[in-house]
Amino acid sequence: MPTVHFTSNLTRHVDCPPTQVEGRTVRAALDEVFARVPRLRGYVLDDQGALRQHVNVFVNDETVRDRDRLADAVAPLDEVFVFQALSGGCR
């Protein structure tokens, strides 16, 4: 089963440990996680169900190509990584 991981900047807002899922696409994998942790959806997806502008998702070491439908394939041993971009810096 694929495993979905979330960065610590997301896990500090929502309890979302690495989770094994049955999904065969990024959408199916994320939907399974959102079914378990509904509050997480708003941090990752916009109102149309696409990735928020500041969120990046990788399957293993490849960034997802389909940011709208999240139709990229996920194999049983793949790892899906969800990153929330950070901004700011020193003044």
**Gap between the Cα atoms of 39 and 85, Å rounded:** 19
Q: Which residue has the higher pLDDT, 24 or 16?
A: 24
What's the whole-number mean pLDDT along residues 41-59? Answer: 95
The encoded tokens of residue 1 equal 């089963």
The encoded tokens of residue 61 equal 């070491």
Residues of the chain by 3-state class (helix, strand, coil), percent to 5: 25, 25, 50
| Residue keyed to tokens 């041993």 | 77
Confidence (pTM): 0.89
pLDDT at position 91, please? Answer: 58
- Domains, the chain, with CATH or none: 3-84 (3.10.20.30)
Residue 80 CB burial class (10 angstroms; 0-12, 13-18, ≥19): buried
> What letter does residue 52 receive in the DSSP assignment?
P
